[in-house]
Structure 1
Amino acid sequence: MDEKEIIIIAAIAIPISLVIIVIVLFSVFARRKNRLLLEQQKAKEVYERELAESQIEIREETLRNISWELHDNIGQLMTLAKIQAQMSLEKPEMMVEVSETIGTGIDELRALSKLINPEALKSLSLREAISLEIDRFNRLKFIAAHLTVEGTVVPIEANTQIILFRILQEFFSNTIKHSKASSLKVVLDYTDEKLTITAEDNGVGFEKEDDFMGIGLKNMKTRAKLINSSLKIDSVKDEGTALHLTYEFA
């Protein structure tokens, strides 16, 4: 094979090789793109599923709260008002107390009505939603609860807010049901870059993470990851449990 033939073969082979390389690269790129789109679609489906589950769980928890409050708080106020009204037949001066008791019951119903609408959370800020929970705990004497807000409040997208609130609601529920705590402190600390949420109780605590909430803790961590947040649960046996959650603003 002389030099001219080698040049001709090379002239043919090089373009063909380049075409093959381009085809291979395009194929690799297309596969990666399709895989990325598939991963994004799966991530979107997971987010939407967790969001829907959070909304359902918030609604269920809200209905339980309404049931407890109607029975344990408003029901007792109305019973008291009835007794006072009966006594006022002999002591008319007690009508003032009857009026005050009924007024308190009406105020409680108004506060409760804010939670009856399943879409209520979307119209409330995260701070307002948490405040309603804190107020309810104190009103029903479940636990001595306190909310502190530091920094300038930054508005949060509604769906993200729902997930943040559900994570906290899960922690609150376990504090009320299992911790035997007498106090609960919640701090919302806003900066320009992030929101740091701390919730602490003074309950019995636990030694191992697996002892705390089981699947509930897994759900909290999964949901925190979906909104690019970091979540940590710390606990000391017989001293209490603390939730630390950091959400960075986009």
Structure 2
Amino acid sequence: MLCAIALSGIIAHSWLRCAEQAAAVVGGVLLQAWCVALAASAARQLWLLSQLDFARPLLQTQHALAQLRRWRTRVVPWLGVAFWVLWVAVADAAWRAFTGVWLPYAWLLCNVLVGVLGGIGTWLGYRRLQRSGHPWLERLDAAHAGRSIARTDTVLEQIARFQRESADNPRLTATEHTMQSLEFDLDGDYIELNQLLKLAGIADSGGQGKAIVASGAVSVDGVQELRKTAKIRPGQLVQLDGVEIRVLALDPDAEPDA
């Protein structure tokens, strides 16, 4: 967003000096509008990112992620498509800045028409991919959404799976069964929470442990803990639905089991 604001200032300074040239004014105004749209898009994405709070109800977080994905895959790409035409304005401004000479109107008009045809062709091709359900559409969406969206989506799916398993598994229901107590002997100063859940047999993998922590189901010494890398030290008590793990310091003088 800061880049869009800075670029907008540079563009305004460029075309305002050439107010007597219609091509410079039109190109400058179009680029100015594009910068405003870019800044608005960045602000919208930042707001949607602020709604991704794993401590909130899962459905609300999933809805915010879906909105962010839709914005990145259905709105943001058109800012790039606009450069089918806007590149002509950029070329004109650059040529004028380096040579002090205006590009011929015929050249500008010809390339604008080519750009319009290219933009229309891009839109028609995209619509065809949508109607046919072509695999390329899914690849394009994944590329536009970004890896961070895919990773977050995976974490939310794991949280949802853990919540379903917790509801279906009687062992994890504290209202009907007593708390299952475990002891974990720690050989060292601390262990990360995610690793503790895995070694204690609560989570089958690091990804599942991350999902359990992100779901808000884990507390350390009675305080909710949402960081999978939280350092758990000897003497602390880790609790989640139906299970409590007491971390003990490993006695260095203890004889190993035969």
Name the TM-score, length of structure 2 as normaliser: 0.27
TM, length-normalised to structure 1: 0.27
Pick the structure with more strand per residue: 1
